[in-house]
Amino acid sequence: DIHDRKEMEAGLEALRARAEAGDRAKTELIARVSHELRTPIHCISGYAELLERSGLDPERARHAEVIREQAQLLLRQVEDLLDMAALERGGVQLEHESFSLAELVERQVEAKRPLLEAKGLVLEARIEPVMRARFRGDAHRLGQVIRNILENAIKYTEEGGIELDVSGRPGLAGVVQAAIVVRDTGVGIAEADLPAVKREFVRASGAPVDRAGKGLGLAIADRLLHAMGGTLTLESKLGEGTKVTILVPLEVEAEAAATEARAASAPAGSLSVASRLRTLVVDDTPGARELLVAQLERLGHGADAVGSGVEALRRVFREDYDLLLLDLWLPDIPGDEVAERVAKAAERAGLPRPRMVAVTASGAGRHGLGERGAIFDAVLPKPLSLRRLEEVIFDLGFDGRAQVHAAERDEEDGLVDLEIAADLLGSRDARGEPLLFRYLEKIAVDAPAQIESMKQLLSQDQPGEAARRLHSLVGLFAVVGARGAAELGRSLLSRWSGGRVFSPDELDRLAAVFDEARQTLERWARERA
């Protein structure tokens, strides 16, 4: 009767409410536990990186490298759980920033070179010239999607290779529909499994059980792309490899040139540019606090540290700091409130305020923090590498690395990037040899052959293929820190995309610039090896 039906409906509604509450509790628990894990991982990874660069013998340096790599692997698992929890809550905030899609793809490809070399695989990347423009969107999230797809391709491919193609077609209102296609010759996926593999914690039935991973990569990539207005499609047959197609709309950056011009013409006194910064680290976790101080000192800057918002305000009102690094979750006053008070005090006094950077274990960017992020000049997620810290300091208008390589930079006059070279010099292969020497030796053999090949292609009226090979060569130059050669190569590619073909003489000039950079880097590295 009606009474029984209403009782049944009420019971079903109560069950549904309990199930939803259970799901919310599970999601919140995953998010909270994952968030709390980021700070200790930050300390492990950061101190391991400092150890690697402290002049250890090859064996101990390799041990430190393994610690850092495993900490990064653990962080990836934590970030996957955080992302899935945020996506289930509908709480992922997307950034809207200017970025180069070509550089983003190239960074992801270069980061995977060690994995590819270890398995003897070849990865060919092709990027249409039109996609070398600057776009606006969430570079971090798009990079995360590309990284997950590439890692899956490498993980499930034992022989053959991987192809990555980036193309695009114009849309409405300055939007390009970007297509990123990854093909592999791996184990493939059974047709019956295709609908399920994009769900979380699901792996293809044909996948070997000894492979790493928990089945979150594709699920997260699919949901992130959906949030960005894009799609992810899979085509595969068991034993015949897989093709993954990413389609995502990207807004063409029309303001990039204007922004650079405005920055170049800004008043000289508008930023506090100094060779050695006075910095204040504010973090309630002693290990994280000490790590940031050590990283800043490694970059040549002076650093004080306090553990609370009250102490931070006392220091700032008493002393003159160029840069504040603030944890958001302080025990007394939240980091964003500390930043607000500092900004208001500086405004009342008619003085320039220090630059302020939020350091957070949440993994969110400035827009992801909402109103809390508005007061900060930048937001840095933990764990924080030396390279990322240096980049942010430089982006804020300061010298990223104070005086450490200043004389060498002046001496080389932009020919090389010694920070990149230093990273490769500190990283070692399985035999304990610095990667820098290994990479330079390989490129010294490959570059002349590639340049001769490009000349032949130009003589055969095949400038497109010559440009593709030049693009690959430019990526290699950039990886080893041959800055001048990389910049010259990019300028040739830029002219080609604008309709002007580069000449054999210009390729000879490129070879000469790289050879000079190689000799400089080898000389510099031998002095420090």
| Total structural domains within the chain | 4
Does 11 score more than 90 pLDDT?
no
Place of tokens 């130009």: 458
Residues 115 and 183 placed together within one structural domain of the fold: yes
Please tell me the distance from the alpha carbon of residue 402 to that of residue 277, in angstroms, as a whole number. Answer: 8
Beta bridge partners of residue 178, listed in sequence order: 168, 248
Arithmetic mean of pLDDT over the chain: 77
Which pLDDT band holds residue 325 (cuts at 50, 70, 90)? very high
Residues 250 and 120 placed together within one structural domain of the fold: yes
Q: Read off the CATH number of the domain in which 319 is found.
A: 3.40.50.2300
Q: Which of 311-315, 324-328, 421-425, 504-508 has the lowest average pLDDT?
A: 421-425
Residues 248 and 282 placed together within one structural domain of the fold: no
Q: Please report, as a single letter, which amino acid is at residue 396.
A: L
Domain stops at, among 50, 73, 89: 89
Q: How far is CA 213 from CA 146, 198, 344, 345, in A?
A: 16, 14, 48, 50
Does 497 score more than 80 pLDDT?
no
Residue 190 backbone phi and psi in degrees, to 5: -65, 145
Q: Are 146 and 112 in contact (CB under 8 A)?
A: no
* pLDDT reported for residue 312: 93
Query: Does any domain span residue 263?
Result: no
Please tell me the distance from the alpha carbon of residue 51 to that of residue 151, in angstroms, as a whole number. Answer: 28
Does 403 score more than 70 pLDDT?
no
Q: Which of 377-381, 469-473, 519-523 has the lowest average pLDDT?
A: 469-473
Q: Are 152 and 143 in contact (CB under 8 A)?
A: no
Residues 373 and 446 placed together within one structural domain of the fold: no
Does 85 score more than 60 pLDDT?
yes
Q: What is the mean pLDDT of residues 254-271?
A: 37
* pLDDT reported for residue 429: 57
Query: Does any domain span residue 325?
Result: yes
Which runs of E-coded beta strand occur in 185-335? 231-236, 242-252, 278-282, 302-306, 323-327
Domain stops at, among 57, 89, 121: 89
Q: Which of 20-29, 111-120, 137-146, 148-157 has the lowest average pLDDT?
A: 20-29
Query: Does any domain span residue 353?
Result: yes
| Domain limits for position 68 | 2-89
Q: Read off the CATH number of the domain in which 221 is found.
A: 3.30.565.10
And the tokens for 314? 């006392």
Domain stops at, among 89, 124, 152: 89
* pLDDT reported for residue 282: 95
Please tell me the distance from the alpha carbon of residue 244 to that of residue 234, in angstroms, as a whole number. Answer: 5
122-181 tens-digit pLDDT: 888 888 877 878 888 888 889 989 998 998 899 889 888 899 999 887 665 568 889 999
Which pLDDT band holds residue 78 (cuts at 50, 70, 90)? confident
Which pLDDT band holds residue 366 (cuts at 50, 70, 90)? very low
Q: What is the mean pLDDT of residues 69-98?
A: 74
Residues 236 and 360 placed together within one structural domain of the fold: no
Residues 249 and 276 placed together within one structural domain of the fold: no
Residues 239 and 119 placed together within one structural domain of the fold: yes
Q: Are 169 and 143 in contact (CB under 8 A)?
A: no
* pLDDT reported for residue 169: 78
* pLDDT reported for residue 427: 67
Please tell me the distance from the alpha carbon of residue 142 to that of residue 138, in angstroms, as a whole number. Answer: 6
Please tell me the distance from the alpha carbon of residue 327 to that of residue 324, in angstroms, as a whole number. Answer: 10
Q: What is the mean pLDDT of residues 341-354?
A: 86
* pLDDT reported for residue 173: 56
* pLDDT reported for residue 273: 34
Residues 105 and 160 placed together within one structural domain of the fold: yes
Q: Which residues contact 522 (CB under 8 A, 6 or more apart)?
A: 437, 440
Residues 62 and 206 placed together within one structural domain of the fold: no
Q: Are 187 and 147 in contact (CB under 8 A)?
A: no
Q: Read off the CATH number of the domain in which 425 is found.
A: 1.20.120
Does 291 score more than 70 pLDDT?
yes
Q: Read off the CATH number of the domain in which 67 is found.
A: 1.10.287
